[in-house]
Amino acid sequence: MKTNKRAVTADMLVHLRKNQPRFEGIESGHRACLGCGEALAARLVTEAAGPEVMIANATGCLEIFTTPWPESAWRLPWMHSLFENTGAIAAGMEAALKAQGKPTKVLAFGGDGATFDIGFQALSGMLERGHNVLYVCFDNEAYMNTGIQRSSSTPHAAMTTTSPPGSERMGKRHLKKNILTIVAAHQIPYAATTSVAYASDLRKKVRRAMEIEGPTFLQIHSPCPLGWGHDSAHSIKVARLAVQTGLFPVIELERSELIGSMPIRHPRPVTDYLKLQQRFRHLFNKDDARAVEELAHIQALADHNIKHYCLDGEGMDALDSDGADTVRRGGMRWA
């Protein structure tokens, strides 16, 4: 009998990869908008986390678009209680599972409003007490579920319905809160940012956090086409530009020390990112001196990030491929 030992080809690998059974914690058919960054990010998180989890979900878009009774997009045990108590709900789940001797990992999901603002106290309590919970913040930089109101995560100068530009204002007057540093200051084992534009980085960070016994935190930059005012087809492009301009640094902290960052070989000017989004359109009125000043201000913020988090990848290592698949380890050693 003739044995047909076929050579493994690249096509076969692609085929195998596409067809391998992959756990999906969140099903298609939910009611998210076209191009929703949060929906994609949630799917990637649940894929990487696997089925042995329990989710506490804050009030917000993710909760609303996945569970219009009697339908649900979740294939995981999932609970929504309120807006501001997700850290505490997750902590309670974890305490119960610990008491029952079960290995299930608890995930907490919240938007930036639920995390930076209203649920901040419950989050801080959960981190301080050391509950074994992975808290994931889907950061779309405003209260999108209620119709695009500013949060403390909204970037400086962005237009929202409660930070509109006008003769006296140029959008949001305040800076985006540096939640990662605040969270990391609880001396938790692992806190990181990632972006929905870098799926492999996102998955890797979820898997890393899953392995840690203790509180971990992941902030995922997730574009909202409706709230940011960009083409639904460009969510990933916009998210990638946030990283490539240095406005959204992709970094990792252990016990509040910077231990890794995604390098940017060729930092793009912030205008490349801003001009794609209607929320920044008031910054592109060349006749408005305030707009010119704000653009310079935002560029300075990006430059500061690049310097502060050692994001500049120019000439640093041969494997640097513009951040897409490389996360440098070693952190402040380059500084």
d(CA 91, CA 38): 23
> Which tokens sit at 67?
């569970």
Minimum distance from residue 76 beta carbon to another protein (Å):
5
Minimum distance from residue 225 beta carbon to another protein (Å):
22
Q: Where are the beta strands (DSSP E) in 128-203?
A: 133-139, 190-195
The residue among 54 and 302 lying less far from another protein, judged by its C-beta, is: 54
Q: Give the 3-state secondary structure of residue 228.
A: helix
Torsion of CA 90, 93, 95, 97, to 10 degrees: -140
Shortest CA distance to 109 belongs to which of 226, 217, 235, 252?
217
Minimum distance from residue 51 beta carbon to another protein (Å):
6
d(CA 74, CA 66): 7
> Which tokens sit at 137?
């913040």
The residue among 80 and 176 lying less far from another protein, judged by its C-beta, is: 80
Minimum distance from residue 20 beta carbon to another protein (Å):
21
Enter the DSSP assignment of 327: -
Minimum distance from residue 114 beta carbon to another protein (Å):
13
The residue among 130 and 189 lying less far from another protein, judged by its C-beta, is: 130
The residue among 37 and 60 lying less far from another protein, judged by its C-beta, is: 60
Give, in degrees to the nearest 5, the angle at Cα 166 between 161 and 169.
85
The residue among 97 and 292 lying less far from another protein, judged by its C-beta, is: 97
The residue among 83 and 280 lying less far from another protein, judged by its C-beta, is: 83
> How many Å from the N-terminal Cα to the C-terminal Cα in the chain?
64
> Which tokens sit at 161?
């319905």
Q: Which residues bind another protein (CB under 8 A)?
A: 51-54, 56, 63-64, 66-70, 72, 74-82, 84-85, 87-100, 104, 121-122, 124-125, 128-129
The residue among 85 and 195 lying less far from another protein, judged by its C-beta, is: 85
Minimum distance from residue 293 beta carbon to another protein (Å):
41
Minimum distance from residue 108 beta carbon to another protein (Å):
10
The residue among 35 and 60 lying less far from another protein, judged by its C-beta, is: 60
d(CA 108, CA 16): 32
The residue among 57 and 277 lying less far from another protein, judged by its C-beta, is: 57
Q: Give the 3-state secondary structure of residue 46.
A: helix
What angle, 0 to 180 degrees and rounded to 10, lies between the N-to-C axes of helices 86-99 and 120-128?
30
The DSSP element (H or E) to which 110 belongs, if any, is: strand 105-111
Minimum distance from residue 125 beta carbon to another protein (Å):
4
Q: Give the 3-state secondary structure of residue 39.
A: helix
Minimum distance from residue 102 beta carbon to another protein (Å):
8
Q: Are 248 and 49 in contact (CB under 8 A)?
A: no
By CB neighbour count within 10 A (0-12 exposed, 13-18 middle, 19+ buried), where does 81 fall?
Answer: middle
**Residue 326 is which amino acid?**
T
